[in-house]
Amino acid sequence: MRKGKKWVVVFDFDGTFTPKGKSLFVMIDERALPSEGLKAQQEIYAHFIHKALAGKLTASEDKSWLLKSIKNYLRYGLTREKARTALSDASLRRGVRECLEMLRRAKVPVAIISYGIAPLIELVLDENGITVPGPLIRHIYAAKFLVETKAGRFVGYDRQSLVLQSTKGEWSRHFADACGVPYRNILAVGDSGGDKKLGYLKENRLAIAKNPEQAAELAPYMGTVAVTEDFGPVTAWLRSKLGPIK
């Protein structure tokens, strides 16, 4: 790594660390909620999805969607064990761990910044042998559940912990501040238009795309777009930014 130059790396999670497909939200909805809870979640999805796909979802609507989902999980009795079972087969993209090991050797702090729920992300990482906080990932910025009953039921959440698509840049800068790294040295990796504010500089932002069509959609927001199923191009891009690593 270039002497004297400090970096941090921030990653989105769903669709970035994990393969494209069912999101953690959908897996929880379908596998961990009773039928009335699944119906409530599907109604929320139907209400917001068309504006989201058209890129017209406001920050207020973005927040409302996340909050309504969180409140449904609490209302319909989501527990840690139900969530663990629902997410037990959630895998990481091939090469994610190798990428994180490379960043550990380079002494580059890593955080996940997700429009999601921290305990669910932690469960997936734990199932894949990664503990947070730990040597590979320092912190997860995502909605935090506050309290669990003795039976493991989630009963509250920390409103201050919410990460929206519109605030991913703010959380990226917060992590850089915590690590004493200038904002221009934040490297960011995402997979959708929801990550267009992840990180700081456009040229230091990479997106994983599933096909050339999505790559073209993401290009206006990203310095680099890679059409890939595995993490090899991500690791190569990070190495090109960081310089020689022992």
CATH of the domain at 193: 3.40.50.1000
How many residues belong to the chain? 246
Give one DSSP letter per residue of 44-73, joined into a string. HHHHHHHHHHTT---HHHHHHHHHHHHHHH
All residues at 6 or more sequence positions from 86 whose CB lies less than 8 Å from its CB, including other chains: 27, 28, 30, 31, 32
For residue 211, being part of any structural domain is answered with yes
For residue 66, being part of any structural domain is answered with no
**CA 12 – CA 207 distance, rounded (Å):** 10
For residue 204, the 8-state DSSP code is G
pLDDT surpasses 50 at 19: yes
Q: What is the mean pLDDT of residues 73-99?
A: 96
pLDDT surpasses 80 at 147: no
Residue from 119, 165, 172, 143 nearest 70 by CA: 143
Helix-helix angle 35-53:24-32, to 10 degrees: 160
Task: Express each pLDDT in 21-68 by its tens digit.
Answer: 889 999 999 999 999 999 999 999 999 988 887 778 899 999 999 999
For residue 208, being part of any structural domain is answered with yes
Q: What is the pTM of this model?
A: 0.94
Rg (C-alpha) for the chain, rounded Å, is 18
For residue 195, being part of any structural domain is answered with yes
Q: Which two tokens stand for residue 45?
A: 């999805």
Please count the other Cβ atoms lying within 10 Å of the Cβ belonging to residue 33: 21
Buried b (16+ CB within 10 A) or exposed e, 140-153: bbbbbbeeeeeeeb
Which pLDDT band, with edges at 50, 70 and 90, does 246 fall under? low
pLDDT surpasses 70 at 4: no
Q: What is the mean pLDDT of residues 156-167?
A: 95
Q: Which two tokens stand for residue 117?
A: 């729920």
The per-residue pLDDT for 179 is 97
For residue 173, being part of any structural domain is answered with yes
- The strand pairing partners of 111, in sequence order, are 10, 139
* Domain count for the chain: 1
The per-residue pLDDT for 2 is 44
Task: Express each pLDDT in 208-220 by its tens digit.
Answer: 999 999 999 999 9
For residue 50, being part of any structural domain is answered with no
Task: Express each pLDDT in 225-244 by its tens digit.
Answer: 999 999 999 999 999 999 88
Q: What is the mean pLDDT of residues 86-106?
A: 97
For residue 48, being part of any structural domain is answered with no
Domain, as residue range, for 209: 8-19+91-242
pLDDT surpasses 60 at 3: no
Q: What is the mean pLDDT of the chain?
A: 94
For 141, the enclosing helix (H) or strand (E) is strand 139-145
pLDDT above 90 as % of the chain: 88
For residue 63, being part of any structural domain is answered with no
